[in-house]
Amino acid sequence: MVEIRFDKKFTNIFSKIKDALFRTKIIKQVKKISENPEIGKPMRNIRKGTREISIKPFRLSYSYFPEKEIVYILDLYHKKKQ
């Protein structure tokens, strides 16, 4: 397992979510990422170096640094805002 760190933007968004079911879905996906950081889809172009995992209809964006064994959870955004 890798170390998980959260960006301030993500913690701000996560703190505003009131739906308990959606919060548990996010937590489950973060646990999956910690067990296998390469599970997400690698991004291209401007967002190269980041990965995404789907929590319908949202996307959870993160960066993985294998040499340090660290994952930074960056953002949670709606698919339409891609």
pLDDT tens, residue by residue, 30-80 = 999 999 999 999 999 999 999 999 998 899 999 999 999 999 999 999 887
Does the global pTM surpass 0.85? yes
- Per-residue model confidence (pLDDT) at position 1: 82
pLDDT given at position 82: 64
Domain boundaries, given as residue ranges, for the chain: 3-81
Nearest by Cα to 64 from 53, 75, 73, 55: 73
pLDDT band at 11 (very low <50, low <70, confident <90, very high): very high
Quote the CA–CA distance of 51 and 44 in Å, as a whole number: 9
Domain 3-81's class? alpha beta
pLDDT score recorded for residue 17: 95
